[in-house]
Amino acid sequence: KLDQAQYRELEAFAKFGSDLDAVTLNVIEKGKRNVEILKQAQNDPFKVEDQIAIIYAGSKNLLRDVPVEKVKEFERDYLEFLKAKHSDVLASLKAGKLTDEVTDTLTTVAKELSAKYRK
């Protein structure tokens, strides 16, 4: 919530056309990606474990190399890969267990997948 609040505040500030420092630009870019990952199809919500996985990646800024217009593609690929190769991680998330092993896997998968989007 704090990330999104900062993003909204800085986004509004940026509209005044002032020069922004690197930290501010990073917060704005992260916020744009987080807005995309929070979007869900009407009457077709994500499973809780899928939401946790993708929000974790967004909150840890692991999507920074993914262009905003490709975030939904990344999200789909990320969740499909987790389901195919790391179903145990999703089961842990569903059970409410966010262990170091789980976060390490989420981080590793997100970093590896986002590498294909680097410019």
Instruction: Supply the CATH number for residue 27's domain.
Output: 1.20.150.20
Q: Give the count of domains, the chain.
A: 1
Residue 114 contacts residue 74 (beta carbons within 8 Å): yes
Residue type, 12: A
Rg, C-alpha atoms of the chain: 15
Output the CA–CA distances (angstroms, integers) from residue 53 to 3, 9, 21, in the order listed. Answer: 17, 26, 30
Beta bridge partners of 44: 41
Domain interval for residue 110: 2-117
Residues 78 and 50: their CA atoms lie apart, in Å, by 10
The predicted pLDDT at position 17 comes to 59
pLDDT per residue, tens digit, the chain (119 aa), is 666 666 666 666 666 656 777 887 788 888 889 989 988 888 888 999 999 999 999 999 999 999 999 999 999 999 999 999 999 999 999 999 999 999 999 999 999 999 998 76
